[in-house]
Chains A and B, each alone.
Chain A
Amino acid sequence: MMNLQTVLTITKKEMLEIWRDRVYFIMAFVFPFIMILILGFGLSFDVEKMPFAVLDYDNSDQSRDYSYKFISSRYFDYKGSIDSVKKADELINTSKVRFVLVIPPEFSKNIINGYSAEVQAQIDGMFNYRASVVSGYISAINANYNSELIQQWAMKSQGMTSQAISDLISPVSLETRYLYNNELKSIWSTGTGLIVLVMLVSPAMLAALGVVREKETGSIFNIYASTASRSEFITGKLLPYIAISYINISILCLLALWVFQAPFKGDLSVLLVANFFFVASAAAIGVLISSFVKSQAAAALISMLGTMIPGIMYSGLMMPVASMSSEAVIEAHAFPAMYQLEVIWGVFLKGQGWPELWLNILILSGFLILLWLLAVLRFRKRVNG
Chain B
Amino acid sequence: MNLLWWRRVLSLTKKELLQYSRDIILVIATLYFFTGEVFIGGKGVSFDLINAPIGYVDYDQSEASREWLNKLRQPYFDVKGSIDNDKDAQHYLDNSSLLGVMEIPHNFQNDLLKGQSTDISFQLDASNVILGNLANSYVSLSNASFNQEWMLKKLKINDIDEMESPSVDAKKMILFNPEGKSSWFMAISEMMTVMTLLSLFLTAAILVKEKERGTIEQLSIAPLTPFQILLPKILAVEIILLIGVALSLFLIVIPVFEVPFQGEFWLFFLVSAVYIYAMSGLGIFIATVSKNLAQVMIVSIILIMPIVLLSGAFTPPEAMPEWEQPIVHFSPLYYYINMGFGIILKGAGLNLIWTDLLSLFALGTVLFIFGISQFRKQFEN
A and B assemble together:
yes
Q: How far is the CA of A349 from the CA of B305 in the complex (A)?
A: 26
* Contact across chains for A180 and B117 when beta carbons are under 8 A apart: no
Q: Which of B12-20, B173-181, B366-374 contacts A (4 or more CB under 8 A)?
A: B173-181
Q: How far is the CA of A171 from the CA of B309 in the complex (A)?
A: 44
Q: Which of B128-136, B226-234, B236-244, B277-285 contacts A (4 or more CB under 8 A)?
A: B128-136
* Contact across chains for B94 and A171 when beta carbons are under 8 A apart: no
Shortest B18–chain A CB gap in Å is 18
Q: Which of B3-11, B246-254, B291-299 contacts A (4 or more CB under 8 A)?
A: B291-299
Shortest B319–chain A CB gap in Å is 5
Shortest A173–chain B CB gap in Å is 5
Q: How far is the CA of A135 from the CA of B172 in the complex (A)?
A: 7
- Kindly list chain A residues whose C-beta atoms are within 8 Å of the C-beta of B181: 128
Q: Is A43 an interface residue (CB 8 A)?
A: yes
* Contact across chains for B338 and A95 when beta carbons are under 8 A apart: yes
Given contacts A133-B137, A172-B68, A318-B45, are A296 and B292 in contact (CB under 8 A)?
A: yes
Q: Is B169 an interface residue (CB 8 A)?
A: yes
**B298: which of A31, A51, A94 is its contact (CB, 8 Å)?**
A31
Q: How far is the CA of A43 from the CA of B53 in the complex (A)?
A: 26
* Contact across chains for A346 and B96 when beta carbons are under 8 A apart: yes
Q: How far is the CA of A168 from the CA of B348 in the complex (A)?
A: 48
Shortest B347–chain A CB gap in Å is 8
Q: Is A363 an interface residue (CB 8 A)?
A: no
* Contact across chains for A136 and B37 when beta carbons are under 8 A apart: no
Q: Which residues from 77 to 102 on chain A have a C-beta closer than 8 Å to any C-beta of chain B?
A: 77, 90, 92-95, 98
User: Which single residue of chain A is at the shortest CB-CB distance from B123?
Assistant: A177
Shortest B25–chain A CB gap in Å is 5
**A43: which of B128, B291, B309, B348 is its contact (CB, 8 Å)?**
B309
Shortest B54–chain A CB gap in Å is 11
Shortest A116–chain B CB gap in Å is 5
Given contacts A119-B169, A121-B173, A129-B130, are A309 and B301 in contact (CB under 8 A)?
A: no
- Kindly list chain B residues whose C-beta atoms are within 8 Å of the C-beta of A95: 338, 341-342
Q: Is B362 an interface residue (CB 8 A)?
A: no
Q: Is B329 an interface residue (CB 8 A)?
A: no
Q: Is A115 an interface residue (CB 8 A)?
A: yes
- Kindly list chain A residues whose C-beta atoms are within 8 Å of the C-beta of B295: 23-24, 27
Given contacts A120-B171, A138-B172, A178-B126, are A319 and B345 in contact (CB under 8 A)?
A: no
Q: Which residues from 293 to 336 on chain B have a C-beta closer than 8 Å to any C-beta of chain A?
A: 293-298, 301-302, 305-306, 309-310, 314-316, 318-321, 324
* Contact across chains for B301 and A132 when beta carbons are under 8 A apart: no
**A322: which of B52, B68, B171, B185 is its contact (CB, 8 Å)?**
B52
**B127: which of A48, A125, A181, A322 is its contact (CB, 8 Å)?**
A181
Shortest B129–chain A CB gap in Å is 4
Q: Is B365 an interface residue (CB 8 A)?
A: no
* Contact across chains for A50 and B129 when beta carbons are under 8 A apart: no
- Kindly list chain A residues whose C-beta atoms are within 8 Å of the C-beta of B170: 119-121, 138-139, 142
Q: Is B115 an interface residue (CB 8 A)?
A: yes
* Contact across chains for A323 and B324 when beta carbons are under 8 A apart: no
Q: Is A373 an interface residue (CB 8 A)?
A: no
Q: How far is the CA of A132 from the CA of B137 in the complex (A)?
A: 9
A-B contact count (CB 8 A): 360
- Kindly list chain A residues whose C-beta atoms are within 8 Å of the C-beta of B127: 179-181, 188-189, 345, 349-350
Q: Which of B160-168, B216-224, B268-276 contacts A (4 or more CB under 8 A)?
A: B160-168
User: Which single residue of chain A is at the shortest CB-CB distance from B96?
Assistant: A342
**B94: which of A35, A124, A352 is its contact (CB, 8 Å)?**
A352
Q: Which of A3-11, A144-152, A247-255, A271-279 contacts B (4 or more CB under 8 A)?
A: A144-152
- Kindly list chain A residues whose C-beta atoms are within 8 Å of the C-beta of B176: 124-126
Shortest B335–chain A CB gap in Å is 11
Shortest A100–chain B CB gap in Å is 9
Shortest B130–chain A CB gap in Å is 5
* Contact across chains for A175 and B121 when beta carbons are under 8 A apart: yes
Q: Which of A221-229, A236-244, A297-305, A377-385 contacts B (4 or more CB under 8 A)?
A: A297-305
* Contact across chains for B292 and A128 when beta carbons are under 8 A apart: no
**A132: which of B124, B134, B154, B315 is its contact (CB, 8 Å)?**
B134
Return the CB mask of B136-167 against A: 1 if under 8 Å, else 0.
11111101101100110011000011001111
Q: Which residues from 107 to 160 on chain A have a C-beta closer than 8 Å to any C-beta of chain B?
A: 110-133, 135-136, 138-140, 142-143, 145-146, 149-150, 153-154
User: Which single residue of chain A is at the shortest CB-CB distance from B344?
Assistant: A126
* Contact across chains for B318 and A41 when beta carbons are under 8 A apart: no
Q: How far is the CA of A168 from the CA of B40 in the complex (A)?
A: 50
**B173: which of A94, A98, A123 is its contact (CB, 8 Å)?**
A123
Best-surrounded residue of B138, B155, B316, B345 (most CB of chain A within 10 A)? B316
Q: Is A68 an interface residue (CB 8 A)?
A: no
Shortest B93–chain A CB gap in Å is 6
Q: Is A324 an interface residue (CB 8 A)?
A: yes
User: Which single residue of chain B is at the shortest CB-CB distance from A297?
Assistant: B293
Q: How far is the CA of A143 from the CA of B132 in the complex (A)?
A: 21
Shortest A320–chain B CB gap in Å is 5
* Contact across chains for B180 and A128 when beta carbons are under 8 A apart: yes
- Kindly list chain B residues whose C-beta atoms are within 8 Å of the C-beta of A115: 164, 166
Q: Is B120 an interface residue (CB 8 A)?
A: yes
* Contact across chains for B48 and A298 when beta carbons are under 8 A apart: no
* Contact across chains for A116 and B305 when beta carbons are under 8 A apart: no
* Contact across chains for A133 and B115 when beta carbons are under 8 A apart: no
Q: Which residues does A use to contact B, with CB under 8 Å? A: 23-24, 27, 31, 34-35, 38-39, 41-51, 66, 77, 90, 92-95, 98, 110-133, 135-136, 138-140, 142-143, 145-146, 149-150, 153-154, 164, 166-182, 184-186, 188-190, 201, 205, 209, 212-213, 293, 295-302, 304-305, 309, 313-314, 316, 318-320, 322-325, 327-328, 331, 342, 345-346, 349-352, 356
Contacts A45-B315, A212-B294 aside, 20 further interface pairs with beta carbons under 8 A come to A39-B305, A41-B320, A47-B133, A116-B167, A116-B168, A117-B166, A118-B168, A123-B175, A128-B177, A128-B184, A149-B168, A150-B167, A164-B115, A175-B121, A209-B294, A296-B297, A297-B205, A302-B29, A324-B46, A327-B43
11 contacts across the A-B interface (CB closer than 8 A):
A111-B166, A112-B166, A115-B164, A115-B166, A120-B172, A125-B175, A130-B316, A149-B166, A205-B297, A293-B25, A301-B297
A-B complex: 8 closest residue pairs judged by Cβ atoms: A300-B297, A136-B137, A129-B47, A125-B177, A178-B126, A323-B50, A128-B180, A125-B174
